[in-house]
A = this chain, B = another copy of it.
């Protein structure tokens, strides 16, 4: 039953408490399925508004600086996560993707190309009527992923 073999687990993370909870659920799964975890952070392309603001000559430098800073920050907190996971006995690594115009597409394409078995993704744990406001990234990943998706609340 290969479909239920959750060996390669992808966890999109954004540094929020919601993705932190998803990581903890993924750790429990990885232990039980003898799987490994890849943390994936996607840095969105800066909006055209932000790019348009600086003087024309500064644009390229501005975009470079934007990615460099975002990547540095992401690598810092993802490094801490990976160390924590490894201290729990779970094989883990982290990946940063830059410049995606669609975060959902970046996540689902990466999952498909790298043949992941499962995506574990966090979402806001709102109650009552507000539950409609499930994160649009989580909803999009559920809709577009080639593999099973666990939405953690």
A3 near B32: Cβ-Cβ < 8 Å: no
Query: Is A24 interfacial (CB 8 A cutoff)?
Result: yes
A134 near B143: Cβ-Cβ < 8 Å: yes
Select from chain B the residue with minimum beta-carbon distance to A112.
Answer: B127
Q: Which residues of B contact A151 (CB under 8 A)?
A: 142, 148-151
Contacts A4-B29, A151-B151 supplied; 9 other A-B pairs, CB < 8 Å: A1-B28, A3-B21, A4-B24, A4-B28, A32-B32, A134-B142, A139-B142, A145-B153, A146-B153
**Binary flags per residue of A1-38, CB closer than 8 Å to B gives 1, else 0:** 10110000000000000000100110111001100000
A residues sitting closer than 8 Å to B (CB atoms) are 1, 3-4, 21, 24-25, 27-29, 32-33, 127, 131-132, 134, 138-139, 142-153
CA distance A3 to B27 in the complex (A): 12
Interface of A is mostly: helix
CA distance A146 to B129 in the complex (A): 11
Copies in the complex: 2
Q: Which residues of B contact A147 (CB under 8 A)?
A: 153
Q: Which of B32, B131, B132 contacts A146 (CB 8 A)?
A: B131
A146 near B127: Cβ-Cβ < 8 Å: yes
CA distance A143 to B153 in the complex (A): 10
Select from chain B the residue with minimum beta-carbon distance to A123.
Answer: B142
Which one of A138, A147, A151 has the greatest number of beta carbons of chain B within 10 Å? A151
B139 near A143: Cβ-Cβ < 8 Å: yes
